Structure 1
Amino acid sequence: MKLPIIAYGDPVLKRKAEEIDQDYPNLGELVENMFETMYGAHGVGIAAPQVGLSIRLFVIDADPFADDDEPDLKGFKKVFINAQIVDEEGEKWAFNEGCLSIPDIREDIERHETIHIRYYDENWTLHEESYSGVAARVIQHEYDHIEGKLFTDRIGVLRKALIKSKLDAISKGQVKVDYKMKFPNTKIKKR
């Protein structure tokens, strides 16, 4: 089932998410719904806060980024539960990012080249892994969501001031999207 995506301005997107345990109700169904929601919105990742749940869960499928430069992203589909980035290293590099909760806004965001992360998968198997390049970037973007951060928090004050009216419009539902969204400053759900 496709879930409505929470738009910029909703407090759930700025709250640090809580860890869950294996008894979290209907977790398997939630993971399936998150993937369906992400695919329906043409995304490569989505975090639980983006569907209104302040829990440490996100899913990614970086397959659309698989090409000659990033062949390891072919079939790179993962579930991250209670993730903790243990370390970030390497040069920071800019990449143009967008977000399903902030449609029609894209910005160059600098992030570390490599991350080391500890997380559980959907079968509650513990993983400690390292990722670099675009895989690290997608994970860092979704990880920010469970930490209560948005990519717009990583841009300069001047740049943020320049897009403030667009951000305000999004929170009011004054944006065209081809997926279900829930806007904080209106009672309307849009499709």
Structure 2
Amino acid sequence: MAILPILEVPDPRLRRISEPVVEITEDIRALIVDMFETMYDAPGIGLAAAQVDVPIRLLVMDLGDGPEDEEGKGTPNPRVFINPELFDPSEDYSVYNEGCLSVPGQYADVERPATIRATWLDETGAAHDEVLDELTATCLQHEMDHLEGILFIDHLSRLKRDMVLKKLDKARKEKPAKKAAA
């Protein structure tokens, strides 16, 4: 198990279109383990293989929406999506304040279809076909964008995208100064 480096904007590798997974091998399963470890460490709720410089159609998610524990909180619910496809986007849209491990510390409202139907394989090769909504639908659409070389900031107006990128640049410049002061 290893924590993998996450590509960040403006790295051009984030713009590659990912290739389908041809076979679920032990190497793919090891990558899945590393991706979960990387995502939890970041911390995040989703991670596409493209973000860790492996341009294949694979992503992991954990919205913490598993069965409630004794305190009424959702438990971890790790999910693997191999070669996911989306169908039947609803005409209703929802807006979520999205962030991205490849655009660290920056958030913006993004509008996406509220409900989608998705098909995918899990790490065992089992096929799934489900209608997804709420945060699950939003997160899957966000992570699937990475497979097409699209970032959440691409859904923003030019003005909002430029503002997010300027804030990110400012945060990056301040980070070394904070370390030096400490």
TM-score range relative to shorter protein: 0.7 to 0.9
RMSD: 2.5
Kindly provide the amino acid, as one letter, of the partner of residue 12 in structure 1: R
Q: Quick one: distance in 2 between partners of 1:11 and 1:113?
A: 30
Amino acid at match of 2:124: N
Provide the residue aligned with 2:86 in structure 1. Answer: 85
Aligned amino acid, residue 43 of structure 1: G
Q: Percent identity?
A: 37
Residue of structure 2 equivalent to 1:135? 136
Aligned twin of 2:117? 116
Deviation at residue 5 of structure 1 after TM alignment: 0.6
- Report the counterpart of residue 57 of structure 1 in structure 2: 58
User: What is the DSSP-based 3-state SS (H/G/I as helix, E as strand, rest coil) of the residue aligned with 1:63?
Assistant: coil
Whole-angstrom CA distance in 1 between matches of 2:66 and 2:40: 14
Name the counterpart of 2:157.
156
CA contact (8 A) 1:44 1:64 kept: no
1:19 — aligned with what? 20
Secondary structure of 1:26's aligned partner: helix
Query: Over alpha carbons, which structure has the higher Rg?
Result: 2
Report the CA distance shift for 1:175/1:66 in structure 2 as closer, same or farther (over 3 A): farther
- Going from structure 1 to structure 2, the CA distance change for 1:87 and 1:175 (only over 3 Å counts) comes to farther
- The whole-number CA distance in structure 2 between the counterparts of 1:19 and 1:142 is 15
1:32: which partner in 2?
33
Please state if 1:102 is matched with 2:103.
yes
CA–CA distance in structure 1, aligned partners of residues 42 and 128 of structure 2: 28
TM-score, normalized by length of structure 1?
0.80
Change (3 A) 1:23 1:137: closer
| 1:162 Cα offset (Å) | 2.4
Letter of the 2:8 counterpart: A
Return closer, same or farther for 1:103/1:134 CA change in 2, 3 Å cut-off. Answer: same
C-alpha spacing 1:23/1:57, structure 2 compared with 1 (3 Å):
closer
SS in 2 for 1:7: coil
1:75 is displaced (CA, Å) by: 4.1
- Structure 2: gaps of 5 or more residues: 177-182
> Secondary structure in 2 aligned to 1:58?
strand
- For residues 164 and 148 of structure 1, the distance between their equivalents in structure 2, rounded to whole angstroms, comes to 17
- Report if the CA contact (8 A) 1:103-1:175 is conserved: no
**Counterpart of 1:63 in structure 2: which amino acid?**
G
Which moved further from structure 2: 154-163 or 52-61?
A: 154-163
More helix by percentage: 2
Aligned length, in residue pairs: 171
Asked if the contact 1:8/1:167 (under 8 Å) is kept, the reply is no
Q: Give the structure with the larger strand fraction.
A: 1
Matched residue, 1:182? none
Partner SS for 1:43: coil
Gaps of 5+ in 1: 178-191
Query: Is the Cα–Cα contact under 8 Å of residues 66 and 76 in structure 2 kept in the other structure?
Result: no
